[in-house]
Structure 1
Amino acid sequence: MNGPQAHWLADGRRLHLNHGPIDLIVEAFGGPEECRAAYEQAVARFQTILIEVVEELPELRLPAFFLAPRDFAGPTARRMEAAVMPLAECFITPMAAVAGSVADEILGAMLAGRRLDRAYVNNGGDCALHLGIGQSMTVAIAGTGNGMADRVAIRSEDGVRGVATSGWRGRSFSLGIADAVTVLARTGAEADAAATLIANAVDLPGHPAVARAAARDLAPDSDLGERLVTQGVGALTPGEVARALDNGLAVAEDFRRRGLIAASALFLAGEARISGSVTLAAPNKHAQEEFADA
């Protein structure tokens, strides 16, 4: 595996950081010198972040327990554990929050001592945001389908600083059948962990149209072990789609009532459920895209 890589994308304004499975798009908005320093700080912090997580992987792959937080050495691992602890009444490991936690960690490094108007770190669709007072950002979300609007505007006063998406079609395994579940929360790590569990809950256990396989058969070191993960979803009736989405919505509403998330949008077979105040707006073709694919 190559070491940490950093280069500018063709537009000259977004920084691409890559190391093994970590693939980040980073952008800062503000004064030129402040942005330059923020990018340098992001690159410096990125040099060791994967190594730090890998060193603690065996423990990070073990389930979290509601009353027994572990004392991890690395700051990213500690973020992962903190994000899943409030959700640990059911099976979850810190790996459910790894992408969001990495995004949070790099964003934190960018902001240290800096004055930026806005910034984001997009880790394969799991994002950490910085919004100064009075600032906002438009985020493109996946899974909408059927001509639905696919943008959500986040304002600084909303208190949302993390956006994450999970589902069986994504890059990580899912126990459920959601095409996508997008969550808005206080941090990228918290959004990532919650999206994982809500997507798991969008399900029809034992349905013959859903193809599943043991996670360990697909990835021997998976934290999901022998649990069955979704590999394909066949035709479902409208009633079945509604039932699966309602299963996930119940979990999303519980998380929202407990203050664990701000809002979420659940998508399956062209249908959707919304929890909380998520305003999906049609894209403005004249507006500059700020970042995509949360």
Structure 2
Amino acid sequence: MTQAGYGAVRALLDNGLHHFQHGPIDLIIGVDGEPACVQTGVEAAWQRFGSILPELVTELSQLRRPVGDKTTFQTPVAQRMGDACWPYRRGFVTAMAAVAGSVADEILQVILQAAPGLRRVFVNNGGDIALYLSPEETYTVGLVSNIDQVRVTALAVPTIAPDGTLTVHASQGIGGIATSGWRGRSFSMGIADSVTVLAVTAAQADVAATLIANQVNADHPGITRAPANTLKDDTDLGDRRVTVDVGPLPETIIRQALTHGAQVARQWQADGLILGAVLVLQGHVEAVFPALAEPCRYVA
């Protein structure tokens, strides 16, 4: 493991992937291409990586405020966050809804600028993925709706049994894949186990996944909610009620919630904000796929 300025650390994993970590930012990076180009791209990413968190800290108070018509940011990743959230400013959204995807986008751009000609690059920031595919390349991601399915072995290696896999093709123009839901790392106001969004950038996918997951919602005695600020002091959600538990639901409630979320996803797809989405709630799936010549392949 190598440590750089600002406290960032890196490691080359046994499978050839690169692990960059700095505070809450935890990246897994895969780069395919000629070895010299791969090395150049990874080193450029490492040089940029250490300064991202300090930059975000300088704008943290503004990043936690609702995005509005006059919201502006100064640093590159914060600007990505604001740009991704801008189309949704008429509702409640803070730029933090796009933080993971924006960091992934920034590192992806640095790699591609430093090393053109790579075949495939992905930057996975806690499940939110920035993706580059050269012509004819594909990328397959496992979809996990329940984080409790992650098991840690005696060797401390996490293993995951995915609910399904999603394969995307270079021709689809998908540059970002992000997932949100009440079981995830961040709070959700909805009841979706997971909402995975496909978009042109990871930042766009990140904020849309968060907001669509909020729309997969219903009222039922089996749903437990609490004010966000009673669960985490520094949350950007204030006293808005977030989901802390979802018990078994009747199929009518599940279908109602998924249908509402899918309607929002289809509208945003028509508006050009996202390319597609997969919504999951208690074993039920609603898919909104891109209308492209090379369709996504989802295998449950």
Normalization by structure 2: what TM-score?
0.89
Which residue of structure 2 aligns with residue 188 of structure 1? 202
In the TM superposition, residue 53 of structure 1 has moved relative to its aligned partner by 0.8
> Which one of the candidate residues 249, 253, 264 is aligned to 1:240?
253
- Write the deviation string for residues 55-113 of structure 1: whole angstroms up to 9, x where unpaired: 10100011112xx1532111000000000111222111110000000000011111113
Distance (Å, rounded) in 2 between the aligned partners of 1:113 and 1:133: 19
Higher relative contact order (Cα pairs below 8 Å, separated by 6+ residues): 1
In the TM superposition, residue 245 of structure 1 has moved relative to its aligned partner by 0.7
* Paired residue secondary structure (2:236): coil
In the TM superposition, residue 201 of structure 1 has moved relative to its aligned partner by 0.4
Query: What pairs up with 1:149-160 in 2 under 5 angstroms?
Result: 150-160=164-174
Q: Which amino acid aligns with 2:246?
A: V
* Paired residue secondary structure (1:154): strand
In the TM superposition, residue 132 of structure 1 has moved relative to its aligned partner by 1.1
> Which one of the candidate residues 118, 122, 127 is aligned to 1:120?
122
Distance (Å, rounded) in 2 between the aligned partners of 1:200 and 1:149: 21
Residues 1:10 and 2:14 are matched in the alignment:
yes
Q: Is the 8 A contact 2:145 2:163 kept in 1?
A: no
Which residue of structure 1 aligns with residue 111 of structure 2? 110
| TM-align CA RMSD | 1.6
* Paired residue secondary structure (2:114): coil
Q: Is the 8 A contact 2:168 2:297 kept in 1?
A: no
Residues 1:51 and 2:54 are matched in the alignment:
yes
Distance (Å, rounded) in 2 between the aligned partners of 1:63 and 1:171: 20
In the TM superposition, residue 160 of structure 1 has moved relative to its aligned partner by 0.4
Which residue of structure 2 aligns with residue 285 of structure 1? none
Q: Is the 8 A contact 1:69 1:85 kept in 2?
A: no
In the TM superposition, residue 4 of structure 1 has moved relative to its aligned partner by 0.5
In the TM superposition, residue 173 of structure 1 has moved relative to its aligned partner by 0.3
Structure 1 stretches of 4+ moved >2 Å: 276-279
In the TM superposition, residue 149 of structure 1 has moved relative to its aligned partner by 6.1
Q: Which amino acid aligns with 1:281?
A: V
* Paired residue secondary structure (1:81): helix
Distance (Å, rounded) in 2 between the aligned partners of 1:70 and 1:143: 33
Q: Is the 8 A contact 2:44 2:114 kept in 1?
A: no
In the TM superposition, residue 271 of structure 1 has moved relative to its aligned partner by 0.2
Q: Which amino acid aligns with 1:77?
A: A
Identity %: 45
In the TM superposition, residue 279 of structure 1 has moved relative to its aligned partner by 2.6
User: Alpha carbons of 1:233 and 1:245: their partners in 2 closer, same or farther (altered >3 Å)?
Assistant: same
Query: What pairs up with 1:248-263 in 2 under 5 angstroms?
Result: 248-263=261-276
Q: Which amino acid aligns with 1:21?
A: P
In the TM superposition, residue 247 of structure 1 has moved relative to its aligned partner by 1.3
> How many equivalent pairs are there?
276
* Paired residue secondary structure (1:41): helix
Distance (Å, rounded) in 2 between the aligned partners of 1:131 and 1:240: 39
In the TM superposition, residue 42 of structure 1 has moved relative to its aligned partner by 1.0
Q: Is the 8 A contact 1:256 1:276 kept in 2?
A: no
Q: Is the 8 A contact 2:189 2:241 kept in 1?
A: yes
* Paired residue secondary structure (1:16): strand
- Write the deviation string for residues 120-152 of structure 1: whole angstroms up to 9, x where unpaired: 00001000001112222112122289x996111
* Paired residue secondary structure (1:28): strand
> Which one of the candidate residues 27, 32, 37 is aligned to 1:34?
37
Distance (Å, rounded) in 2 between the aligned partners of 1:194 and 1:10: 34
- Write the deviation string for residues 139-181 of structure 1: whole angstroms up to 9, x where unpaired: 2122289x99611111111010000000000000000000000
User: Alpha carbons of 1:116 and 1:148: their partners in 2 closer, same or farther (altered >3 Å)?
Assistant: closer
Q: Is the 8 A contact 1:69 1:81 kept in 2?
A: no
Distance (Å, rounded) in 2 between the aligned partners of 1:149 and 1:70: 39
Q: Which amino acid aligns with 1:5?
A: V
Q: Is the 8 A contact 2:31 2:122 kept in 1?
A: yes
Which residue of structure 1 aligns with residue 142 of structure 2? 140
Distance (Å, rounded) in 2 between the aligned partners of 1:53 and 1:21: 12
Distance (Å, rounded) in 1 between the aligned partners of 2:37 and 2:23: 29
Normalization by structure 1: what TM-score?
0.90
Which residue of structure 2 aligns with residue 76 of structure 1? 77
Which residue of structure 1 aligns with residue 185 of structure 2? 171
Distance (Å, rounded) in 2 between the aligned partners of 1:151 and 1:77: 31
